[in-house]
Structure 1
Amino acid sequence: MSKYLIVPVAIACGLLLWFWGSGGFDSLAAWAAGEQREFQNQIARALRAARAEQPQAVATLLTVCFAYGFFHAIGPGHGKVLIGGYGLGRQVAFWRLSAISVLSSLGQAVTAVVLVYAGVLIFQLSRETLVGTTEQVMAPISYAAIAAIGLWLVFRGMRSFARRSRSDAAHGHSHDHEHHHDHHHDEHDHHHHHHHDEVCSDCGHRHGPSAEEVANVGSLREALVLIAGIAARPCTGALFVLILTWQMGIAMVGVAGAFAMALGTATVTTLVGWTSFGLRGGLLASASATRFASILAPTIELVAGLMIVVIASGLLLRAI
C-alpha cells in the first residue's frame, strides 16, 4: 500500500512549491495582516465595552483576541517554521508535537505578561519602549535560538549519514569473516538477554539509565529548548492588550485576552505541526519499499534543519 502514497505526497509537495514560488504565501500574509487590523479595531471597541462593564463584553473580547491570534499567526513568526521543521525532521510522537505547539504559544503569553508588568510596575517603561524591547532585543534572541535548533537538526542529519557510512564499512569488513563467529551465537544471545534492561547480573540493581530513558530525557530537553526559543518573543498584539487594560484598570481582563490570543496562535502552529507530522509519515511510508528507505529519514532531518536555519537567519538579519 505504501507505493500508492507516492503520488499524493508528490502532488502535495509540488503544490506547496508552486504556491510558494508564485507568491501565494505573500498574498496570504497580506490578507492576514488586513484581518489583523480589523480585529485590532474590534479589540479596541471590546476593551471600551469591558471597561464600561457592558454585558458579554469580556466574552466578546476573548473571542476577538482568539481570532486575532489565529490570523496573526498566519503571518511571519510564532514558531511555525520551527514546529513544522521539527515535526518533519524528527521522529516525534503526535501528542508531544501538539503539546510543544500549544505550550510554546502559551509561553509567548507568559513572556508578554512578565515583560509588561515588570516594565510598567518596576521599570515604569512606556508602551513604545516595551514594544521596542520586544522587537530589538527579544526577537533577535528568539530567531538566533531557532537558527541554533536548525543547526542542531543539520548536525544530527550529518551524524546519521556518518554513522551509516561507518556501519556499512564495518559490515563489509565483518562479512568476510562471518564463518568465524557462528559458534558464538548462543553465547552472544545469552549475554544480550541480561543487558537489555540494564540490570547487573551480579547485584541485581541498575547502574545507569536504559537507552529508552536516555532518549526520553533528550526528547524532553529538545522540547524545552523549542518552547523557550519560540516563547522568547512575545506577541505584539498581546503587549498592546496588556498595556491598554492596565491603563484602563482592568488588568486581569488583559491577561485573559493575552492567553486567548495565545490559543489562537496555538491553533495555527498545531495545524502546521500536524501537517509536517503527516508529511513525514507519508514520505517514509512511500519510500519504505525502495532502496532509499534507510537514508530518507536523515535526509529529511538535514533538509528540515537547513530550511529552519535559512529562514531564521533571514529573520535575524532583518531584526538586527
Structure 2
Amino acid sequence: MKSCCNSTPKNDKNTLTSTCSHQHQPHHSEVHNNSHSIICDHPLTDTHATPSWLTRMVVLLVFIVSGYYLWQQWPTMLMESIKWQRNINGQLSDLLYDAQQNITAAYSLAGLSFLYGIFHSLGPGHGKVIVTTYLATNPAKIKASLIMTIISAFVQAIVAITLVSILLLFFKSSMRQVNDTADQLISYSFMAMLLLGVIVIYRSLRQAWQLKMAQQHHNHGSECGCGHKHFANADEINNASSLREYIVIIFSIGIRPCTGAILVLLFANMVGLYWLGIISAILMAVGTALTTSAIALLTLSSKKIVSHYLATNERQRIMTRIIIKLLGGILLVLLSLLLLNGHSYGMSPVL
C-alpha cells in the first residue's frame, strides 16, 4: 500500500495550485499571534467613553457662572443672615425669660434651638468653606465625610459650653471677657485652616512627584505583558483617608465656638437656667450636623457628576485630581490669610 503523502496527483497544474495554496495559507495559531500583536501595538480605545471637549467646556462654564453669581450675591446673603440671626437670638432670649416663669416654654426653646442650628448653618461661614473645598478637591468616602461633619458640629457646641462654663462659673468673667476669649479661639481656627491648606498643598505636590517618578521608572508602555503596574491608580495616588487631615478639619471648625450657643448660655446664666442653655446648645449642634452632612453629601454627589463628564484616561484623571487638590489647598490658604487679616469680617462665626 502506498502512502498518501507519496502519491502523485494526476494533474500537475492542480498540484502546483494546491502546493502554493498550502504554502501561503497562514496557520491558525500564526493568525492569532499576529492579531494579538496588532492589538498590543495598537490598543483599542473607547472613544464613546471619553466626553467631548464641548461637554467639558460646558461643565466648566456652568461652574464659573455659578461661582460668579454666588460671589455677586454674597453681600446680600450676608446681610440677610445677620438680620435673621439677630431676630432668632432675640426670640431665644425671650423664651429663656419666659421659661423662668413657665417651664413649658423650654419646649419652644428646644424646638427653636434645633431650627436655629439647621437654618443658621445654611448661611455663609468658614466651616462650610472648609468642608466643601476639601471634599470637592480631595477624594473622600461618604461615611468618613459624614463622621467628620457631625463631630465638627458637636465639637463646636462642646467648646462653647466648656468656654462659658469655665469663664463664668470658675473665673466669674464678664460677658465682654467671654467674647474676647471666643475671639481668640476664632483666630486659632483660622490658623488651623491655614495649616490644613499647607498640608493639602504638600500632599498634592508629593503625589505629583511620585506619579512622575513612577512614569519614568516604567517607561516601557502600558501595553506590554510584563505584568507590572506602571502607575498607581486614582485611589492610591489620592489617599483620602488621611486621619491627620480630618483631625485638622475638625479642629479648625470645632475650635471656633458657636456664637449662638454662647449667647444662649450667657442668657441662661442670667436667668438662672444654665442647664437649659446647655440643652439648647446641644440641640443647635444636632441641627448644624444635619445641615452640614447634607451639604457634604451634595458636594460629593456634584463632584461625582463632574468627574463623570470630565473623565479621560487613567493617567490624565490622576493628574487632574492632583491639580484640583492643589488648587483646593491654595484656596484654603488664601481664605485663611484673608480671614486672619480681616479677623472674621464678612464671615459668619458659625458653620
Band of TM-score, shorter chain: 0.7 to 0.9
- What is the letter of the counterpart of residue 72 of structure 1? H
1:302 alignment partner, one of 318, 322, 326: 326
Is 2:302 the partner of 1:252?
Answer: no
**Contact 1:33/1:71 (<8 A) preserved:** no
* Partner residue, 2:80: 31
The structure 1 segments of at least 4 consecutive aligned residues displaced by more than 6 Å after TM superposition are none
What are the Cα deviations for residues 135-191 of structure 1, in whole angstroms up to 9, with x where unaligned?
1x111111000111011111111112111221222222xx29x99x96xx6xx99xx
- What is the letter of the counterpart of residue 41 of structure 1? G
- What is the letter of the counterpart of residue 271 of structure 2? M
CA–CA separation in structure 2 for the residues paired with 1:121 and 1:246: 9
Deviation at 1:73, TM superposition (A): 2.8
CA–CA separation in structure 1 for the residues paired with 2:65 and 2:269: 46
| Runs of 5+ consecutive residues of structure 1 not aligned to the other structure | 190-211
Check 1:161–1:220 CA distance in 2 against 1; reply closer, same or farther (3 A cut). closer
CA–CA separation in structure 1 for the residues paired with 2:242 and 2:203: 13
What are the Cα deviations for residues 238-279 of structure 1, in whole angstroms up to 9, with x where unaligned?
111111112212111101111122223333322332232123
SS state at 2:171 partner: coil
* Partner residue, 1:153: 200
Deviation at 1:52, TM superposition (A): 1.3
CA–CA separation in structure 2 for the residues paired with 1:259 and 1:78: 20
CA–CA separation in structure 1 for the residues paired with 2:87 and 2:126: 20
**Contact 1:79/1:269 (<8 A) preserved:** no
Check 1:113–1:2 CA distance in 2 against 1; reply closer, same or farther (3 A cut). farther
**Contact 1:32/1:74 (<8 A) preserved:** no
Check 1:89–1:32 CA distance in 2 against 1; reply closer, same or farther (3 A cut). same
Is 2:141 the partner of 1:93?
Answer: yes
CA–CA separation in structure 2 for the residues paired with 1:268 and 1:128: 30
| Runs of 5+ consecutive residues of structure 2 not aligned to the other structure | 1-48, 230-235, 345-351
| Residues 15-164 of structure 1 aligned to structure 2 (within 5 Å) | 15-21=65-71, 23-55=72-104, 57-77=105-125, 79-135=127-183, 137-164=184-211
* Partner residue, 1:196: none
Cα RMSD (Å)? 2.9
TM-score (norm 2): 0.73
CA–CA separation in structure 1 for the residues paired with 2:332 and 2:122: 17
Select between 69-78 and 253-262 the one with higher mean Cα deviation: 69-78
Deviation at 1:106, TM superposition (A): 0.8
Deviation at 1:70, TM superposition (A): 3.4
* Partner residue, 1:14: 64
* Partner residue, 1:201: none
CA–CA separation in structure 1 for the residues paired with 2:336 and 2:248: 15
CA–CA separation in structure 1 for the residues paired with 2:288 and 2:78: 14
* Partner residue, 1:261: 284
SS state at 1:233 partner: coil
**Contact 2:89/2:263 (<8 A) preserved:** no
Bigger proportion of residues as helix: 1
Deviation at 1:6, TM superposition (A): 4.8
**Contact 2:199/2:245 (<8 A) preserved:** no
* Partner residue, 1:192: none
Check 1:271–1:78 CA distance in 2 against 1; reply closer, same or farther (3 A cut). farther
| Residues 208-219 of structure 1 aligned to structure 2 (within 5 Å) | 219=242
CA–CA separation in structure 1 for the residues paired with 2:50 and 2:297: 20
TM-score (norm 1): 0.79
| Residues 188-267 of structure 1 aligned to structure 2 (within 5 Å) | 219-267=242-290
Select between 264-273 and 152-161 the one with higher mean Cα deviation: 264-273
CA–CA separation in structure 2 for the residues paired with 1:275 and 1:313: 27
Percent identity among equivalent residues? 25
Say which structure, 1 or 2, has more relative contact order (CA 8 Å, 6+ apart).
Answer: 1
CA–CA separation in structure 1 for the residues paired with 2:262 and 2:296: 26
**Contact 1:150/1:306 (<8 A) preserved:** yes
* Partner residue, 1:208: none
* Partner residue, 1:270: 293
| Residues 164-179 of structure 1 aligned to structure 2 (within 5 Å) | 164-172=211-219, 175=220
CA–CA separation in structure 1 for the residues paired with 2:268 and 2:253: 25
Task: Point out the structure with max Rg over C-alpha.
Answer: 2
CA–CA separation in structure 1 for the residues paired with 2:64 and 2:197: 23
